[in-house]
Structure 1
């Protein structure tokens, strides 16, 4: 406890260690390059980076790694302190009292960076009602994707599969699963080709699969509940039964799907979000990509600061936020000091910090993603 208190005196932004997490699909080469790793980059089973995570990964077969997925604080002792331990020790200062009154010590959000080298297995996540009924979880897994770019795989641009086409029913979907008719399952979903900068909101219950070549930020409710309908991933990795139904059985897993169907136009109206200006000044521009009017579960802004320019003053207003340095380098300043930052850094801004300001460095613009917890309204 004394180590935790000392770590926060005086209040300051918290820099987090990198936190790669094992997944059933392959990827990660772009993530390696983005992080500036010196060793040869290659795709493998660590295609995701979990940022400011207090969620343990659900990876059947890797249960001995009980803390896989939890974020650790940079610059702390060995073994390093976890963000979760800090939040549990000082919830009001870290999360904000309004947040604690509503959500307790749960962060209420999970942020990831994701780099896919193959199509993910077709999947769905429960909405909150299904998560409570089937898993005893207060959170479902509504998520949103900010597409940063990507790469062509086998000559094809990055795509996503999303939403049932007209004609689908639960009976038909269960039959396709029983037959493991992969091609028919793929044809049952819309295929969309997002552009860099696009944002899509994937509400719990909506079937989907991220295609190969996508490089994105994902912000979501804080669970790792994933129902899959393919027994073997596209690269040939065999999924266990528990990886498919997450422990609730093959019959009940179909209760997680929303069987409403959409034309492509209807689906885009439902899922694709339009950003708006959140603020602008000399040398900086901030855009709101996801607002609480889109979903009460999280919010996301994107800030660009030109080289050698100061960004806006961010008043934390008694709530925390999570920052990813998407590109560039610069510094973050607060009442007690400043800290250099660069591409690939992650920060947790405690609620009691008060005010922070970012500034761009000399070489190019600084770009940040700022992720917010669920609404307390």
Structure 2
């Protein structure tokens, strides 16, 4: 199997904008496009190949045909034939709702789904743009419920000013929101389960307030104040810089000014590259694919050697 690119699945959102087209050259058709799903096995939103002989083939069909040669034996032992992560680019023209995601056990019992652990890599940010991540003081269930009742929740939120290159790891249960003016790359478990707890009293295009999940969220929130979300990593040139290593995915940062060869013969996982700056050609034994800023490529676990040809690019390398 050669390096595979997929058609983006574009999602309109109440808070979306036009940066996915302006910054990442996505073929959006509205000025409220909030998400580009780059690689998805989510039911009803399964990615399809955009290049080569397998063009038009769905990700699930590839898994059925190639199995562990695509995913990796250990990946299939853990996750079966379900693609375990979801790759996105997100453009927030307005603030997203304040939300959180359940852990695996709770998501499985309530929704027959994985939980949603995720990470964000900031690609572009307006001046003074920020994120909400966690609480700014110790919280209790009682204090949280009272803040919803008296509409003071925002007073307890922790705001983080952001700039390109900043990276955040969002555990399940951590309350969070992407702020207006932020364009980011997101890597997450395959799950679309979100508990929305506050939405700034916004109304949808039909004039209705969006649904909140106050009761569901109560048993899922981590009320502790934890400063565990900022990812500290190096940006050394032409080497592999570790970023995140969690049970669901591993991400490394590549800041390349010349070609690099990755020996993946013993890697029992597929490999994903997200291009966040510049351009490259990604090749394995069976072919190659060009990769520009805002594009994503998937290489099968059977790849023994991956060659990155470039004169300048920044990549997120993702494995399981």
* Superposed displacement of residue 141, structure 1: 0.8
Distance 1:342-1:352 versus aligned 2 partners, 3 A rule:
same
Measure, in 2, the Cα distance between the counterparts of 1:79 and 1:368.
24
Contact 1:120–1:234 (Cα < 8 Å) also in 2: no
Whether 1:17 aligns to 2:4 is no
The aligned counterpart of 1:142 is 117
Greater Cα shift, 76-85 or 121-130: 76-85
User: Which one of 155, 158, 175 corresponds to residue 187 of structure 1?
Assistant: 155
Superposition map of 1:86-235 within 5 A: 86-137=62-113, 139-152=114-127, 157-166=128-137, 168-178=139-149, 181=151, 184-230=152-198, 234=202
CA distance in 1, matches of 2:220, 2:12: 24
Q: Map 1:29-44 onto structure 2 (within 5 A).
A: 29-36=18-25, 43-44=31-32
Q: Could you list the runs of 5+ residues in structure 2 that have no partner in the other structure?
A: none
Among 369, 373, 377, which residue is 2:316 paired with? 369
Question: What per-residue deviation string (whole Å, max 9, x for no partner) do you get for residues 34-69 of structure 1?
Answer: 233688x9740x21111211114xxxxxxxxxx2x3
Measure the CA separation in 2 of the matches of 1:169 and 1:230: 17
Instruction: Name the structure with the higher strand share.
Output: 2
In structure 2, what is the Cα distance between the partners aligned to 1:188 and 1:304? 37
Counterpart Cα distance in 1 of 2:124 and 2:210: 32
Q: d(CA) in 1 for partners of 2:256 and 2:298?
A: 19
CA contact (8 A) 1:43 1:117 kept: no
Task: Provide the TM-score with structure 1 as the length reference.
Answer: 0.76
Q: Which structure has more helix as a fraction of its residues?
A: 1
Kept after mapping to 2: 8 A contact 1:22/1:47: yes
Query: Is residue 300 of structure 2 the alignment partner of residue 311 of structure 1?
Result: no
Structure-2 change in CA distance of 1:239 and 1:287 (3 Å)? farther
Bigger Rg, which one: 1
Q: Secondary structure at the match of 1:25?
A: strand
Question: What residue number does 1:300 align with?
Answer: 251
Within 2, Cα distance between the matches of 1:235 and 1:130? 29
Q: Distance in 1 between matches of 2:26 and 2:102?
A: 36
Alignment check: 8 A CA contact 2:96 2:199 kept = no
Please report how far the alpha carbon of residue 92 of structure 1 lies from its aligned counterpart in structure 2 after TM superposition: 1.4
Query: Is residue 24–residue 233 contact of structure 1 (8 Å, CA) maintained in 2?
Result: no
Note the residue ranges of structure 1 that are not aligned, 5 or more in a row. Answer: 1-10, 57-66
Mark the CA change 1:89 to 1:239 in structure 2 (over 3 Å): closer, same or farther: farther
Alignment CA distance shift 1:104-1:146 (3 Å): same
Residue in structure 1 matched with residue 221 of structure 2 by the alignment: 257
The 1:96/1:79 distance shift into structure 2, 3 A limit, reads closer
Quick one: structure 1 residues 359 and 98, their matched pair in 2 at CA, closer, same or farther if it must change by over 3 Å? same
What is the DSSP-based 3-state SS (H/G/I as helix, E as strand, rest coil) of the residue aligned with 2:68? Answer: helix
Normalised by the length of structure 2, the TM-score is 0.88
